[in-house]
Amino acid sequence: MRPSLERVLLEAEKVIAGKRTVIEKILTAMLADGHVLLDDVPGVGKTTLAVALSRAVGLTFRRVQFTPDVLPSDLTGFSMYDKAGGDFVYRPGALSRANLVLGDEINRAPSKTQSALLEAMEERQMTVDGTTYPLEKPFMVIATQNSVGTAGTQFLPYAQMDRFLVRLSLGYPDYEAQMKMLRDRQDRDPASDVSVVLEKDELCAMQRQVRAVRVQDSILDYITRLTMASHEHEKVAVGISPRGALFLDRTAKAKAYLEGRDYVTGADVQAVFTDVCAHRVLLKDSAEGTSVEQVLDELIRKTENPDRRALFAGLRKK
């Protein structure tokens, strides 16, 4: 792992113990310049983690608690009539000048607000009253959604889930992590200990370097075959979209970069496959009793991996 990123990880771990893999995954998404959907029960430290990460990287952090009456203009800002000047003045919203936005309980927001947020995520700009405002760089949204069944919630529409790079889940801490957390928080808040170990500009540079990570054709071939296999799987109603394939490629690159390599291997693709694709695949009604993860595992198992292909088919490029 690259030392600078390792430092970020260690800082974040000061606050939330025992969640190294999830933090790594969020870092990967950050490097890939994508957005994260956290799918979890309340109170497992989603906000704490986001705050810690933004402090460690020196990002401007904003938190938006979504409720049914949050409006798009709360996010994008709005124009207000200024009596003295006799003109409309733009009042920035929550997304303006923010690097890391935590959208809490995004599935409680009305759909127009959701779409405003997702548009900003996709386009990296917002348009208010005909004026386009670019968002800060880097810009990352960590959205959380409560599990279905909680009062007043419903799952995000499929098309909107597709825009998140990865869907992750923190889960409850184990015994030791919880003991450590309880001990640490007896008299102080460990979040105040987090220091800036990476600058914003460094992160932007890293994102550029991620884009330059080398991907051989055999890896692209693997991604394509995985995607196609998801379309042909008998239990899958909606398979991995082309955007999903694109995100898979990008995340695999970020993963390779995180591990200090400048080339992507088949293992990178396999490592990020479930996180990137689980929320893009819809199973048929007839596939009851099978989870998406099982189907994705099956895809990985059945699709010939690039190592094998490259070695045995002589695909190697010089």
Partner 1 sequence: MNRKRIMWAVWLLTAACLYFFENNTGTRIVLICSLLAPLIPPVRRALFAPDQTGVREKPARRTLRAPVPGEEEEPGDVRPYLPGDPVRRIHWKLSARKGELLVRETAPEKTWEETARPASSPPPREPCRHLRAVLISAAACLVFPALLALIPQARLGALSLCNRLFAASESANAYAYQYFPVPDDQSVLPAVLLLFLTLGSIAALVLLTGSRTLGLGLAVLCALFQIYFGLSFPAWANIILAGLLAVLLMRRPLSRKDLAAFGVLMLTVSVLTALLLPGIDARTEAASEAARDRLSLLSLAAAGSPDSMSQGETETRHVHPLSLADGGQEAKTAQAYRLVTVEEQQISRPGWVNWLRIILLLTLSAAVVILPFAPFLLINARKKKALEMRQAFQSEDTAEAVCAIFRHVVRWLEAAESGGGNRLYRDWAEALPGIFPEGYAGRFSRCAAAVEEALYGGSSLPEEKRAEALALLEETEAFLLRTADAKQKFLLKYRWCLCE
Please state, in angstroms and rounded to a whole number, the distance separating the CA atoms of residues 143 and 289.
28
Query: Applying CB under 8 A, what is the total number of residues that bind partner 1?
Result: 31
CA distances (Å), 31 to each of 126, 136, 191, in order? 22, 15, 23
Q: Which of residues 11-50 bind partner 1 (CB under 8 A)?
A: none
Residue 251's identity, in one-letter code, is T
Q: Which is nearer to partner 1, 73 or 216 (CB)?
A: 216
The CA radius of gyration of the chain, in Å to the nearest whole number, is 21
Q: Do residues 118 and 75 lie in contact, with contact meaning Cβ atoms separated by under 8 Å?
A: no
Q: Which is nearer to partner 1, 113 or 303 (CB)?
A: 303
State the nearest-atom distance from the C-beta of 308 to partner 1, in Å.
Answer: 7
Helical spans, DSSP H, in the chain: 3-15, 20-31, 46-57, 72-76, 111-123, 158-161, 175-184, 200-211, 217-232, 242-258, 266-277, 292-302, 306-313
Question: How is the chain split among helix, strand and coil, in percent rounded to 5?
Answer: 50, 15, 35
Is 188 near partner 1 (CB under 8 A)?
no
Range in contact with partner 1 (rule: CB under 8 A) among 3-11, 41-49, 130-138, 284-292: 284-292
Binding mask 216-255 for partner 1 (x = CB under 8 A): x-xx--------------x--x------------------
β-strands 125-128, 100-104 pairing: unpaired
State the nearest-atom distance from the C-beta of 215 to partner 1, in Å.
Answer: 8
Range in contact with partner 1 (rule: CB under 8 A) among 51-59, 159-167, 198-206, 304-312: 304-312
Binding mask 120-149 for partner 1 (x = CB under 8 A): ------------------------------
Which positions lie near partner 1, rule CB under 8 A? 214-216, 218-219, 234, 237, 261-267, 270, 284-286, 301-305, 307-308, 310-312, 316-318
